[in-house]
Amino acid sequence: MKISRFSPLLFWLALITILSLMPGNDLPHRGLFGIPHLDKVVHFGLYGILTFLLARTYQADDIFKFVVIFLFSLFYGGLMEILQSAIAVNRSGSWADLLADLFGAVIGLLLYRWINRGSEINEGTAKRGYG
Give me the mean pLDDT over the 11-29 stretch: 86
**pLDDT for the residue numbered 122:** 47
Residue 116 CA to residue 7 CA, distance in Å, equals: 20
Give the confidence band of 121 by pLDDT, cuts at 50, 70, 90: very low
Length of the chain: 131
Average pLDDT value over all residues in the chain: 86
Q: Among the listed ranges 5-9, 41-45, 79-83, 127-131, which one has the minimum average pLDDT value?
A: 127-131
| Residue 76 belongs to a domain | yes
- Domain limits at 79? 39-116
Total domains in the fold of the chain? 1
| Residue 13 belongs to a domain | no
DSSP-based three-state secondary structure for 95: helix
The residue among 72, 71, 22 whose CA lies nearest residue 42 is 22
| Residue 87 belongs to a domain | yes
Write out pLDDT tens, residues 30-81. 655 677 778 899 999 999 999 999 999 999 999 999 999 999 999 999 999 9
| Residue 32 belongs to a domain | no
| Residue 7 belongs to a domain | no
Mention every residue, 6+ apart, whose C-beta is less than 8 A from residue 69: 51, 54, 55, 58, 60, 109
| Residue 34 belongs to a domain | no
Give me the mean pLDDT over the 75-92 stretch: 92
**pLDDT for the residue numbered 111:** 96
Mention every residue, 6+ apart, whose C-beta is less than 8 A from residue 16: 46, 47, 50, 76, 80
**pLDDT for the residue numbered 88:** 86
| Residue 21 belongs to a domain | no
| Residue 48 belongs to a domain | yes
